[in-house]
């Protein structure tokens, strides 16, 4: 069994966020981390590996320094890593990225029982588009926002979290699942994993590796192949501090009802 996990290196937005004059993120000045939801996807894959003995392959598109992130995931227990990296792929939006990643996944090979895991969304763009688009390009069934995954033979039963509840979906492999943080707690790297990670298989897929795939077309990859245009980006105005009312007495309840009525909420 082959499990493929898509991961992305992103700027750490928990610290200071730097923005270029054109509104894009100034990635160079921010620390790079593994996208948090992608670590949940990695954990899902490693859990499945423990249950089934599957091979876990991680794939990322990015510049060569993304190797550090991939090695760290190998240190968590993944078996091999693929970095998709070429000048031709630079500037890709989610549409172009999913084309390229889909081609890379085809190159790795999808078997009957393959599961592709992605994080729900990356903290830099917050689009949640790449996972679903990869599934579309590969013609795989997909379940997004997975908060629980159970495997039984060739069927995954996935709890799909929505804002107001959840759906339980059964899906047959091969399939693609996007993962949310409620799914699991990502494990730490282990000491032995760290001392092994630089001897695990690590490959780079460049333009030449993938160019024969029909998905790799000059009009659908890189900046030129990206239909997304950023019109403007701005820092949203800060929300004012909320109001807290404490107590269960009649006076507090009346006050609350009055405030809600004044805002036409009730």
Partner 1 sequence: MDFHLTKEQEMVRKMYREFAETEVKPLAEELDEEERFPMETVEKMGKLGMMGIYFPKEYGGAGGDVLSYAMCVEELSKVCGTTGVVVSAHTSLCCAPIFENGTEEQKQKYLPDLCSGKKIGAFGLTEPGAGTDASGQQTTAVKNENGDYVLNGSKCFITNGNVASTFVVFAMTNKALGNHGISAFIVEKDFPGFSTGKHEKKMGIRGSSTCDLIFEDCIVPKENLLGKEGDGFKIAMKTLDGGRIGIASQALGLGEGAIDEAIKYTQERVQFKKRLSQFQNTQFQLADMHTRMQAAQYLVYAAAMKKQNHEPYSMDAAMAKLFAAEAASDVTRRAVQLFGGYGYTREYPVERMMRDAKITEIYEGTSEVQRMVIANHLGVK
- Residues near partner 1 (CB under 8 A): 68, 71-72, 75, 188-198
E strands along the chain, which residues? 2-6, 9-11, 32-34, 55-61, 80-84, 115-119, 142-152, 155-162, 165-172, 175-179, 202-205
- The per-residue DSSP string of 128-141 comes to --HHHHHHHHHT--
Q: Which is closer to partner 1, CB of 158 or CB of 197?
A: 197
Q: Which is closer to partner 1, CB of 77 or CB of 225?
A: 77
Q: How far is the CB of 105 from partner 1 (least distance, A)?
A: 27
Tokens 């894959």, residue located: 45
Q: Which is closer to partner 1, CB of 138 or CB of 197?
A: 197
Q: Which is closer to partner 1, CB of 188 or CB of 266?
A: 188
* Token duo for residue 144: 């997004």
Q: Which residues, 6+ apart, have CB-to-CB distance to 233 below 8 Å?
A: 19, 23, 24
* CA–CA dist 146, 265 (Å, integer): 33
* CA–CA dist 69, 63 (Å, integer): 11
Q: Which of 124, 148, 34, 128 is nearest to 81 (CA)?
A: 34
Q: How far is the CB of 198 from partner 1 (least distance, A)?
A: 7
Using DSSP's 3-state secondary structure scheme, residue 32 falls into strand
Q: How far is the CB of 206 from partner 1 (least distance, A)?
A: 23
Q: Which is closer to partner 1, CB of 71 or CB of 160?
A: 71
Q: How far is the CB of 32 from partner 1 (least distance, A)?
A: 12
Q: Which is closer to partner 1, CB of 198 or CB of 245?
A: 198
Q: How many residues does the chain have?
A: 266
Q: How far is the CB of 215 from partner 1 (least distance, A)?
A: 34
* CA–CA dist 182, 145 (Å, integer): 9
Q: How far is the CB of 266 from partner 1 (least distance, A)?
A: 41
Q: How far is the CB of 65 from partner 1 (least distance, A)?
A: 12
Q: Which is closer to partner 1, CB of 198 or CB of 218?
A: 198
* CA–CA dist 6, 145 (Å, integer): 15
Contact, 7 vs 131, CB < 8 A?
Answer: no
């Amino acid at each position: 069994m082959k499990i493929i996990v898509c991961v992305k290196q992103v700027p750490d937005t928990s610290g200071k966020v730097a923005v270029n004059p054109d509104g894009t993120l100034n990635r160079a000045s921010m620390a790079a981390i593994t996208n948090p939801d992608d670590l949940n996807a990695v954990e899902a894959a490693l859990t499945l590996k423990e249950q089934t003995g599957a091979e876990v392959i991680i794939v990322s598109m990015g510049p060569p320094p993304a190797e550090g992130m991939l090695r760290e995931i190998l240190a968590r227990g993944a078996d091999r890593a693929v970095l998709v990296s070429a000048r031709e792929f630079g500037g890709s939006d989610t549409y172009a990225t999913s084309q390229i990643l889909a081609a890379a996944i085809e190159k790795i090979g999808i078997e009957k029982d393959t599961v592709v895991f992605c994080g729900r969304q990356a903290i830099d763009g917050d689009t949640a588009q790449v996972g679903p688009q990869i599934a579309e390009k590969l013609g795989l069934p997909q379940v997004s926002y997975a908060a629980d995954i159970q495997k039984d033979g060739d069927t995954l039963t996935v709890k799909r979290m929505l804002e107001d509840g959840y759906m339980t979906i059964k899906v047959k492999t091969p399939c693609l699942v996007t993962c949310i943080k409620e799914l699991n707690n990502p494990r730490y790297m282990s000491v032995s994993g760290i001392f092994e990670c630089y001897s695990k298989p690590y490959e780079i897929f460049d333009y030449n590796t993938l160019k024969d795939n029909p998905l790799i077309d000059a009009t659908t990859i890189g900046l030129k192949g990206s239909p997304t245009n950023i019109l403007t980006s701005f820092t949203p105005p800060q929300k004012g501090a909320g109001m807290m009312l404490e107590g269960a007495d009649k006076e507090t309840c009346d006050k609350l009802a009055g405030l809600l009525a004044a805002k036409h909420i009730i």
